[in-house]
Amino acid sequence: MAGGSAISGLVGARVHRKEDRTILTGAGRYVDDVQERGMLHCHFLRSTVAHARITGIDVEAARGLEGVVRVFTGADMSAITEDLNFAQPIPGLHSPAYPAIAHDVVRYVGEPVALIVAESRYLAEDAAALIEVEYDLLDPVVSTTAGLADGAPQLFEDVPGNVVHADEQLFGDIEAAFAQADHVVTDSLDQHRWACNPMETRGGVATYDRGSGQLTYEASTQTTHTLRFLLAGWIRQPIHQLRVTANNIGGGFGLKFSIYREDVALCAAAKAIGGTVKWIEDRNEHLVAAGAAREEQLTLEAAVKADGTLLGLRVTMLLDAGAYPINPPATVYAGLVRTTLPGPYKLPAYQFSHKIVATNKASYISLRGPWAVETLVRERLMDKIASTCGISPVEVRRRNLITLDDQPTKMVTNVTLECVTAAETFEKMIGMVDLDEVRREQEAARAEGRLLGFGVGTFIEPAPGTQEFWAAVGFPFGAEPLRIRIEIDGKVTAFTPQTPHGQSHETTLSQLIGDELGVGMDDIRIVYGDTDATPFSMLGTGGSRAATMASGAAVYGARELRTRVLDIASHLLEASVDDLEIVDGIVSVKGAPGASVPLGQIAMGCWLAPDQMPEGTNTELEYVASYDGEGGGFSQASHACWVEIDQETGKVEVTRFLVVEDCGRMINPAVVEGQVVGGVAMGLGGMLLEHSAYDAEGQFLSATFMDYLMPSAPEVPEVEIEHLEFESDKVISSRGVGEGGTVLAPAALLNAIDDALAQVGRGRVMATPVTPTRMLELLGVIEKA
Amino acid sequence: MNNGNTTREITLTVNGRKRTVTIEVRRTLADFLREDLGLTATHLGCEHGVCGACTVIVDGATERSCTQLAVQADGREVTTVEGLNGPNGELHPVQEALRDHHSFQCGFCTPGFVMAIHGMVEEKKAGRPSPCSRAEIREELSGNICRCTGYQSIIDGAEAALAAGAGKES
Amino acid sequence: MKPAAFEYLSPTSIEEAVQALTDPDDGDTKVLAGGQSLVPLLSLRLAQPARIVDINRIPGLGEITESGGVLTIGTLVRQRSAEHSDVVRRACPLMAEALPHIGHTAIRNRGTVGGSIAHADPAAELPTVAACLDAELVARGPRGERVIPAAEFFTGFFTTALAEDEILTAVRIRSAAPGTGAAYEEVSRRHGDFAMAGVAAVVRLDGDVVAEARIAISGVDLVPVRAGKAEAALVGRVVDEPTLVAAAEAGVADLHPSADLHGSAPYRKHLAGVLIRKAVRTAAQRARESR
């Protein structure tokens, strides 16, 4: 590539985040900060029962309340919207369409049954209290097994037997594997439902311009273009007349990747009223109705040789989908679990079957590494194989891990692995831990009546994954665009379809562009969150794609403009392109700083008088780059977790946590470490504290932050991080790192807890969360209630 | 004694500026600051006193603005994050320390943490018992929830802010 | 999550406040002190009083005094002020130790001692301290002042002996006698949460023998529970491990805690026993050290 890459050292440095001045001073614009003249406020009345036929709704008193502008029942809303329909041409998928506001049957506690638009949120809530809804109760389905039982209540006519999707896939000769096995090791896990809970809930501000017919939706979303694309049809708005914007976003974690019925109702209301309406989900609504994740039950059966070598694996999964489908379709979650589960291990044969079951709960949604249960059950299984074969958890992994020397190779799920360093991260981690000392400490502690545990785990993370990987999952991979412009004064503006919400893309993309173009961080602006300005992409920010995909688009875009600028400069400075460099926005001849021309001068010429620029040069200083990921790739990490279990209170304390991770070349180590620690904290919190719990009637039990326990600072350990920066020969050797902490930490934690339990002769954890009560039940200290 | 009513005129000082306003008595202080005064740095994360995103300083002490009524701030002095910056927008030393340690990600919980840490630094300057170790800082900040960071970087920043604050005092 | 409408009164004297509570009205009236429990209940619309009487403007309710061997804490004393008070630390070390368990700094800066007791959450720290120490709760109503012993004050789940027209004005506690030791132990899922169970213990030693023991348990019943049988199992004995085990067993024998998401009934009962042993052991140790 002409001109090569002028590294000015931004990439790889812990530069200050561009985002920080805004957020530290509170100057950000989160969606609830939006205030428009005449803006109206929305509140949803929600179902108080899990499953019922609506036999009547009386909104007259609410409509009559002073300050109430409009009340939409389900019927009112369905008259102006299409049902939400996420169906895709996937064989066997039953994806029922459903209205923005229920008017026939409610299927979970928290389902919207009316929308009130009023002059203030206070008044809207007053009006909601005046609405009478009559319910004819139906039996609820509150678990996968109940949903699959003979004679179970049916949620939808078009979801026979409550089975949203069922499938079985076979890879390799599974019968032969089990025929050759010295041991068959079985395991199971019942993972509980827990949730994303970004500190900013869902919400939006919709404005309909009665003059132009244009609708603008300022949303809290991870993906503006997908939101716009799906919304347009459902609210009957021509897509060219619909603009979706996003400014500061207070976290998403997968939740804000979908579009929800509240988005549809809100935008339709703005259109019907002809003005600006705002809806901000309160925390109570969020916990009850926004959806939750991770409710899966898996069984595993492994064929192994006496020395611990894996021969084959049979897995079944039941996934509790909740009532209504969202984006992506549930088959994607099953596909992710199925494809990723063999992980970085040599596995000759594999059988995976799943059933996705509809229940009377809020939707199953994406949560940071939505496939995470595959790593959790696999890493626990490896420990169980180790104990069955009488070898250590370290040894069983060593005997089965795919090393760099084995690559390229194919996973049994037909995904090529290359440059995967899970084994190397694992060895590096084990090298940092004195395993003998760990055991000595455990023995010494037991002598004092204290109980310590130690656990490890390793994994690969599709961040961004490969074309093959996503084809196996059944989800498009796609290329990532970025539009970049050198402005008339030499400053740089880049437009990305990424919708960052904490991932620091304004910083990292600026670092990459800065190094390529030889301009400073302050002279670059990253524009995101506006479908009128950014290139189209269906993906947005999610799936840990940005570090590779958005980075690649930024680098290729910047390089193309660099080529054009240097070509022009070589004429102006009468020097070879190879002899030029750009430093701090000035193009000069290397070693002859006097021979120089400012980038701004070239840009001004290009924009104002292109015909006067050197003949034959390309003076277009705006370019849309697209990056296909060069095949993509995987990140990997190994975790080690030390716990102390209080045998009197059942409390589990994580006393030390070590991460060795490899996401390739780090653009900004501080950003990488923030993602790793945050991810680990979320994974540990999910296992020990958090629970989106329902009772037997489908009532929701975790409706406040007093019940849904988010980890606070004292509950989170200090996380030690070691980096292994294995760089591939690709242009972009940076890979994603946002989800891995949350995916792997639960496995290392549960393995540590099981290790402690084994020392006192007790059985393993079979269901989560590991509450103090469950811990004392496992220890045999108290009776199971 | 005022007559029982659903609106009331109050006078309070917010970020050094005295204001007299008539408000609905059921309005929370947080809603009043955000919606009536446009001071949207104070965020609402739970509205029931658990997450700490709405932390402000009232008469010199950190308090939740979602668990008090605006009418109760009559005669009191309220400081929000908007009141911390220098006259030319310079970052406050607490904000500088948090920036230097890459403390935050999405920024939603951030103003609450900035105020809580500012309160800690001020208590230390005033000679009141204040946290020293990282574990003590974690405990002191347990009333503020962050979903992004796992807290480690926030503790780094708070530790530095406390050290810098103490330095200025001595 | 926005409060329903109510009428708001902010009396500037206790007489006016009582009058505000006495005035005929057509609905529920709530006293607002620190508001750390009440305002969230308003926002969740779990409480929808017709009238709120804010007592924060009443002077004289925010004092901490000690005289004649009695510690008096005004109802409006902020929990954080009590926590930092040398008088409280000396005269009521049990309360000083219990206070930091309440919520978080920003909550204690606003929350009041009297408010927590009058709210009567059975999992809360200050009602348990009051029960343990047989505090006297001073109430003012239209019929004047009356003093309610803690044993009669907590009448049920979030309910007290305060009449609808009465206001709690102060808490009186006998100052800790020489030779006593106190300890407060609790376990919650997270730092600052309401406890799954908590134990307040005070032990006075005569030589090595327990002369007086006071034990109260939070989170296991509709009200904070005095563990009379555990206290009896300690008096006249040396505090050694067998005695502690026996006291803990006696203390939990009659408990029938209810379950919730955070802890099963057997868990809470077990935990109460663990905490009795722990708190009494520490209290006895402190009693020995105080001599």
B152 domain-assigned: yes
* Residue A123 distance to chain C (closest CA, Å): 9
A589, A566 Cβ separation under 8 angstroms: no
Interface contact flag, B69 C8, Cβ < 8 Å: yes
B1 domain-assigned: no
A307, A399 Cβ separation under 8 angstroms: yes
Of C42, C44, C107, the CB nearest to B143: C107
pLDDT, position A609: 96
Last residue of a domain, which of B33, B59, B83? B83
Residue with tokens 């006696």: C250
pLDDT, position C21: 92
Q: Name subunits touching A (3+ CB pairs < 8 A).
A: B, C
| Number of domains within chain B | 2
B67 interfaces chain A, CB cutoff of 8 Å: no
Q: Residues of A numbered 486-505 whose beta carbons fall under 8 angstroms of chain B's beta carbons: which are they?
A: 501-504
Name the pairing type of β-strands C225-226 and C209-218: antiparallel
Of A250, A504, A741, the CB nearest to B108: A250
pLDDT in tens, A150-178: 999 999 999 999 999 999 999 999 999 99
Lowest mean pLDDT among A217-231, A609-623, A699-713, B124-138: B124-138
Task: Give A701's contacts in chain C (Cβ within 8 Å).
Answer: 261
> For chain A, what percent of residues have pLDDT higher than 70?
99
Interface contact flag, B82 A25, Cβ < 8 Å: yes
pLDDT in tens, A636-669: 999 999 999 999 999 999 999 999 999 999 999 9
Annotate A593-606 with b (16+ C-beta within 10 A) or e (fewer).
Answer: eebbbbbbbbbebb
Lowest mean pLDDT among A247-251, A705-709, B107-111, B130-134: B130-134
**C54 backbone dihedrals φ, ψ, rounded to 5°:** -85, 115
pLDDT band at A187 (very low <50, low <70, confident <90, very high): very high
Mutation site, C1, C7, C8, interface B, largest B CB count within 10 A: C8
B43 domain-assigned: yes
B11 with B62, same domain: the answer is: yes
B11 interfaces chain C, CB cutoff of 8 Å: no
A721 interfaces chain B, CB cutoff of 8 Å: no
A782 interfaces chain C, CB cutoff of 8 Å: yes
Q: What CATH number corresponds to the domain at position B141?
A: 1.10.150.120
pLDDT, position A5: 37
Residue with tokens 């994607």: A332
Below-70 pLDDT ranges, chain C: 24-26
pLDDT in tens, B47-61: 999 999 999 999 999
Mutation site, B54, B106, B156, interface A, largest A CB count within 10 A: B106
Q: Position C118: which residue type? A: A
Of A121, A283, A702, the CB nearest to C261: A702
C105 interfaces chain B, CB cutoff of 8 Å: yes
Structural domains of chain A, ranges and CATH numbers in brackets = 20-28+479-627 (3.30.365.10), 34-138+196-289 (3.90.1170.50), 296-473+631-778 (3.30.365.10)
CA gap A310, C215 in Å, rounded: 57
Residue with tokens 């989106």: A692
pLDDT in tens, B153-164: 999 999 999 998
pLDDT, position A315: 98
Q: How far apart are the first and last CA of chain C?
A: 53
- Packing angle, helices A549-573 and A599-608, rounded to 10: 90
- Checking if the pLDDT of A1 tops 80, the result is no
- Checking if the pLDDT of B167 tops 70, the result is no
pLDDT band at A8 (very low <50, low <70, confident <90, very high): low
Of C35, C56, C105, the CB nearest to B62: C105
CATH of C7-56 among 2.40.50.140, 3.30.43.10, 3.30.70.590, 2.60.120.200: 3.30.43.10
C191 interfaces chain B, CB cutoff of 8 Å: yes
Q: Do domains C64-174 and C180-290 have the same CATH topology?
A: no
Q: What CATH number corresponds to the domain at position B66?
A: 3.10.20.30
- Checking if the pLDDT of A104 tops 50, the result is yes
Interface contact flag, C271 A649, Cβ < 8 Å: yes
Interface contact flag, B108 A251, Cβ < 8 Å: yes
Which stretches within A534-644 are classed as H helix?
Answer: 549-573, 599-608
Task: Give A22's contacts in chain B (Cβ within 8 Å).
Answer: 107
A425, A661 Cβ separation under 8 angstroms: yes
Of B6, B52, B61, the CB nearest to C109: B61
B2 domain-assigned: no
- Checking if the pLDDT of B144 tops 50, the result is yes
B117 with B75, same domain: the answer is: no
pLDDT in tens, A485-523: 999 999 999 999 999 999 999 999 999 999 999 999 999
B105 with B137, same domain: the answer is: yes
Q: Which residues contact B16 (CB under 8 A, 6 or more apart)?
A: B83
B79 with B109, same domain: the answer is: no
DSSP E strand boundaries for chain C: 7-9, 29-32, 51-54, 64-67, 70-74, 136-141, 144-149, 154-156, 159-160, 167-174, 180-187, 197-206, 209-218, 225-226
* Residue C269 distance to chain A (closest CA, Å): 9
Last residue of a domain, which of B83, B111, B136? B83
Q: What is the CATH number of domain C180-290?
A: 3.30.390.50
List the structure tokens of A373: 């249960």
Average pLDDT over residues A93-102: 97
DSSP E strand boundaries for B41-143: 55-58, 61-64, 77-79
pLDDT, position C160: 97
Q: Which helix (H) or strand (E) holds A498?
A: none
Interface contact flag, C39 B142, Cβ < 8 Å: no
> For chain A, what percent of residues have pLDDT higher than 90?
95
A738 interfaces chain B, CB cutoff of 8 Å: no
C85, C62 Cβ separation under 8 angstroms: no
Last residue of a domain, which of B83, B101, B128? B83
Is the domain C64-174 a CATH 3.30.830.10 member?
no
Secondary-structure breakdown of chain C: helix, strand, coil percentages, each rounded to the nearest 5: 35, 25, 35
B73 with B104, same domain: the answer is: no
Mutation site, B44, B88, B105, interface A, largest A CB count within 10 A: B105
Q: Which domain holds residue B16?
A: 7-83
pLDDT, position C26: 64
* Residue B167 distance to chain A (closest CA, Å): 22
> Over A89-111, what HEC string results?
CCCCCCCCCECCCCCCEECCCCC
Spans of all domains in chain C:
7-56, 64-174, 180-290
Number of H helices, E strands in chain A: 21, 28
pLDDT, position B131: 84
pLDDT, position B169: 42
